[in-house]
Amino acid sequence: MTDQTEFAIGARRDWMGLLARAPDDTLMTLWDGIETRPSFDWLRRPEIGSVMVRGRTGGTGAPFNLGEMTVTRCSVVLQDGTVGHGYVQGRLKPKAEAAALIDAMMQTGAADEVQARLLDPLQQHMQAVKSTRAAKAAATKVEFFTLVRGED
């Protein structure tokens, strides 16, 4: 039971993080492709605020404040009582609404469809953008090495 819960939290953390980082236009385009949307009520209407992003040097050092970023958040409840939260970067309120609805739908029977038609393509797109950028950066990498050490 504990393992299941931890698995569920881990999985939810993954898709929440994916939605939070997703580019505006990609997410909204994919979201427009989902026809069956559940009806919902607001728990918290979309609101814009800022959060302090903290980092750790090398991922293990002492935490430091990296800087503030703008986030938009909202919470929805579906007719069956499932609660979904949306926290996304930027100021786009429809995106926060989409993220909250996706979070709620991922906890219902629609999870497989949403995963296949929205989250997987989104992840592939973001991975592709990241790889392209990394490849471009790698092409400009300069390797320094010494031909002759000149010890003589």
Partner 1 sequence: MAAQTQFSGGLENAPVDAAHAFRAAMTVMARPGDIRVLSGSEPPAPLSVAAGTLLLTLCDPETRVHLAGGIDTAAIRNWLTFHTGAPLVSAAKADFAVGTWDALGPLNAYRIGTPEYPDRSATLIVECDRLEQSGAILSGPGIKKTARLSLPGIPALQGNAMLYPLGCDFFFTCGNRVAALPRSTQITSEA
Please state, in angstroms and rounded to a whole number, the distance separating the CA atoms of residues 108 and 93.
Answer: 23
Q: Smallest distance, Å, CB 79 to partner 1? A: 5
- Residue 119 Cβ vs partner 1, minimum distance, rounded to whole Å: 24
Decide: is 68 part of the binding site for partner 1 (CB under 8 A): no
Within its chain, how far is the Cα of 128 from the centroid? 15
Q: Binding of partner 1 at residue 56 (CB under 8 A)?
A: no
Residues 16, 19, 75, 119: which binds partner 1 (CB under 8 A)?
75
Using alpha carbons, list the distances in angstroms from residue 26 to 29, 95, 117: 5, 10, 13
Near partner 1 in 36-55, by CB under 8 A: 41, 43-45, 47
CB of 36 to partner 1, least distance (A): 18
How far does CA 115 lie from the centroid of its chain?
A: 13
CA distance 142 to 2: 49
Judged by the rule CB under 8 A, the positions of this chain that interact with partner 1 are 41, 43-45, 47, 75, 77-81, 83
